[in-house]
A and B are shown apart, each in its own frame.
Chain A
Amino acid sequence: MTLLHTIVSAPLACQGLSLRLSGREVLQGIDLAVKAGETLGIVGPNGSGKSTLLKLLAGLRTPSSGSVELLGEPLAKLPRRRVAQLLALVEQQADTQDSISVYDAVALGRTPWLSALAPFSKADRAIVEQALADADASHLAARIWRELSGGERQRVHIARALAQRPQLLLLDEPTNHLDIQHQLSLLHQVQALPVTTLVALHDLNQALTCDRLAVLDKGRLVALGTPEAVLSPERLLSTFGVQAHYLTDPFDGARILRFRAP
């Protein structure tokens, strides 16, 4: 497979992506090609640009330079509606004061597929119900958004993104606010979904379960590859400022990271 072929067949790719905000380089020259079907984790210290990268890849911010390609087409030239049919983003803190029901919040995910004259059809209803089930949120459907816990809200956001029926799912620290049980089940569910997933993660042990990892440091992509190759003790010291080594869980042989202050 040639390099060119790899780039074209990547559902989502960016070249030389940079963003400068009031004189500060938030992202610098990011080259990244997501492979179809994979779960690509994005890790990096606070302020390394993970959320910003997701926003640029979703087309919510315009880069200072560089370009994003969605299914081989320049993102900037695609209508917003088309982008939303292909790609869904779950942001960290999207909240509302409205007394919207969970079902209606998830039904918003059908917006890119509906026109002004098209009514909400049976098929749309089925997709919403499937999305609720996939995000383990069916039992919440009749509840009011404001009365949900942080973890329940996160699952509703994911259900809404799934209701978009996207080929690409971008998640910004989806396990924040979740208790440990839901952190693990959510990550497991996300990885089992038949979509290509880009997920910004805070917990490096959770990141180990991704197919590949991209490491951001001060707005630069400093490593990209399999989790074991990328999260080397040297990398963890230079980028995250911690001493780390791998332990093997005698229970199932899984590798886990243990951290110490240097």
Chain B
Amino acid sequence: MNRLLPLGAVALLALLAALLAGIAIGETRLSFEVVAQVLANHLWQAGHVLDPIDAGIIWNYRLPRTLVAAACGAGLATCGVILQALLRNPLAEPYLLGLSAGASTGAVAVGLLGLGGTLLSLSGGAFVGALAAFALVLLLARASGSSHNNAQVILAGIAGSQLFNALTAFLITKSATAEQARGIMFWLLGNLSGVRWPSVWLALPVALLGLVVCLWHRRALDAFTFGADSAASLGVPVRRTQLLLISCAALVTAVMVSIVGAIGFVGLVIPHALRLLLGPGHSRLLPASALGGALFLIVADILSRTLISGQVIPVGVVTALIGAPVFALILISRRGRP
């Protein structure tokens, strides 16, 4: 444990540095000094005299965007850890299992059609969509022979994703104006541009809640190492734990998708990289993955704003450019195993 404390401190410092970099770097390059002064003004009324435009960009635009990127990355990485542990499948991840696609459909249905009236917010619709997609994927995996076969579950996930993406496209074509459609399509690819403070107050608590619930069940997640029967004989109430933690993953995914769209592969890349470093124990893997996911998405967001000058690439495209090769690497490294 003593060995890990400095490591955790370094990781926290790295997160802080990434946050500052995320705020400073962008179309308009702002100095770290100005960033620090704006933060000081807002956090403890430091009273620095600053260009109001710079101050506005930093406080109303860059800071919430970077904080949401961090929350999103942390949340999605946590979801990846949960799904991989519970499904005993190294490729399980909210995006690949169709949760993100289902959440998109749910959010679009609520946003465009006003489905659910005032009862359902965008996030609520996304949550229902994510749960529906996951149920469909699991049923499909079971019907296709084995819910334990890694490849089968991922194939079912692809089928589910395709179906829900088609539903989303159908809804957009049927009900959206040309301008709405363009906006939704851009959002679907993962987009942090529209993020303001209210999103921060949704994303941060949900990401933290997800992490705390999972940490509380870290021993149960460990107990799934040798499968569900083994977890049961180690005293884990399997059904209840699966239901709770998978609902938790669906909720976190849904909230993140409703804010920033479907960002893939964070839940795949980060837990895998950290498992190599720290081993499979969840008491380390969960906090490390949350931190790593936050760092990863902040950096991916910076890249999305700077790779092509004057243009913003959807952050989902950046994560996929990194994540898809990692997915391929995992596939190759598991050659010969079931």
Contact = CB atoms under 8 A, between A and B. Distances in A.
Given A95-B226, A98-B225, A116-B217, A104 B235 contact: no
Given A111-B219, A164-B234, A91 B225 contact: no
B337 A60 contact: no
A85 B235 contact: yes
Interface stretch (A33-41, A76-84, A206-214, A236-244): A76-84
A116 B216 CA distance: 5
Interface string A76-114: 000111111101110100111111110011001101101
B90 A97 contact: yes
A206 B220 CA distance: 36
A84 B235 contact: yes
A58 interface: yes
Nearest to A98: B280
B27 interface: no
Contacts of B281: 100, 104
Nearest to B1: A119
Nearest to B85: A98
Contact of B235 (A81, A96, A105, A116): A81
B120 to A, nearest CB: 32
A96 B216 CA distance: 23
A95 B224 CA distance: 11
A81 B241 CA distance: 13
B183 interface: no
Interface in A169-192: none
Contacts of A85: 235
> Which interface residue of A59, A98, A104 has the most chain B CB atoms within 10 A?
A98
Nearest to A118: B219
B234 A84 contact: yes
A96 B234 contact: no
A108 B223 contact: yes
Contacts of A91: 229-230, 233
A104 B219 contact: no
A80 B229 contact: no
Given A97-B90, A100-B225, A114-B219, A80 B279 contact: no
B232 A60 contact: yes
Interface in B38-81: none
Interface in A19-68: 55, 58-60
Interface in A134-155: none
Nearest to A111: B234
B255 interface: no
Given A79-B237, A94-B229, A108-B225, A100 B217 contact: no
Contact of B225 (A96, A112, A116): A96
A86 B219 CA distance: 19
B268 to A, nearest CB: 15
B235 A89 contact: no
Nearest to A113: B235
B236 interface: yes
Interface string B199-236: 00000000000000001111110110111011011111
A80 B222 contact: no
A55 B235 CA distance: 14
A144 B254 CA distance: 37
B199 to A, nearest CB: 30
- The 4 A-B residue pairs whose C-beta atoms are closest, nearest first, are A84-B235, A112-B235, A81-B235, A98-B280
Interface of B: 88, 90, 215-220, 222-223, 225-227, 229-230, 232-238, 275, 279-281, 334, 337
Interface of A: 55, 58-60, 79-85, 87-89, 91, 94-101, 104-105, 108-109, 111-112, 114, 116, 164
Given A60-B233, A79-B237, A100-B279, 17 more contacts: A59-B232, A60-B232, A81-B237, A82-B235, A89-B233, A94-B229, A95-B227, A96-B226, A97-B88, A97-B334, A100-B280, A109-B234, A111-B220, A111-B236, A112-B234, A116-B218, A116-B219
